[in-house]
C-alpha cells in the first residue's frame, strides 16, 4: 500500500470514527463505492479498532500501569543515586563519569588521581544487595575474563 492509498484509508477511518456504529458502515460504503479492495481495507481496520476497544488491548490495566511507573521511577532513583558517586575516590581513582548500569552493578569511568601515572579505567561498583555467593562468583568470573 502506497502513501496515497494509506492517506485515503486514514481519512475515511478518521471520519467514520466520529459517527455512531449504525452510521459508520453506510459512510464507508459511500466513500468506497466501486472499490471493493478499499472497502475491505477500511472495514478490516475499523473492526480491528473496535476489537481493541472491547478488549482494552491498547489500555493496560491499573496494575500494569502501576508496575510500569514503579519500574520507571526505580530506574530514575537508581540513576540519580549512581550519579551522586561521581567525584568519589576509590583507592587511587576518582570516579568521573557514569558509563552504565545493569542488574548487578554500576560502571563508572575513573581516572588515576594519585599523580603516579595517567590512567583511565572502568570501575564496577556492585549494588549493596548483591551479596549472594553466586553473585560474587559471577563477578569474579567476569573480572578474570576482563583481566
- pLDDT tens digit string along 38-94? 999 999 888 888 776 665 555 556 676 666 666 666 666 666 677 788 888 988 999
Is 0.85 topped by the overall pTM? no
| Dist. CA 18–CA 8, nearest whole Å | 16
Q: Is residue 17 within 8 Å of residue 27, measured between CB atoms?
A: no
For residue 64, the Cα-to-chain-centroid distance in whole angstroms is: 14
Q: Which of 70-74, 93-97, 111-115, 129-133 has the lowest mean pLDDT?
A: 70-74
| Dist. CA 50–CA 66, nearest whole Å | 26
Backbone angles phi, psi at 100, to 5 degrees: 175, 165
pLDDT for 56: 56
pLDDT for 112: 92
Amino acid at each position: 500500500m502506497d502513501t496515497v492509498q494509506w492517506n485515503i484509508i486514514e481519512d475515511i477511518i478518521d471520519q467514520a470514527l466520529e459517527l455512531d456504529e449504525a452510521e459508520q458502515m453506510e459512510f464507508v460504503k459511500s466513500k468506497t463505492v466501486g472499490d471493493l479492495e478499499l472497502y475491505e481495507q477500511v472495514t478490516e481496520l475499523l473492526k480491528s479498532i473496535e476489537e481493541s476497544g472491547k478488549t482494552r488491548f491498547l489500555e493496560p490495566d491499573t496494575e500494569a500501569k502501576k508496575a510500569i511507573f514503579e519500574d520507571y521511577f526505580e530506574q530514575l532513583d537508581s540513576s540519580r543515586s549512581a550519579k551522586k558517586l561521581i567525584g568519589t575516590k576509590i583507592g587511587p581513582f576518582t570516579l568521573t563519569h557514569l558509563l552504565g548500569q545493569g542488574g548487578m552493578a554500576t560502571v563508572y569511568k575513573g581516572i588515576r588521581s594519585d599523580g603516579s601515572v595517567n590512567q583511565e579505567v572502568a570501575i564496577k561498583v556492585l549494588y549493596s544487595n548483591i551479596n549472594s555467593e553466586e553473585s560474587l562468583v559471577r563477578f569474579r568470573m567476569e573480572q578474570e575474563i576482563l583481566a
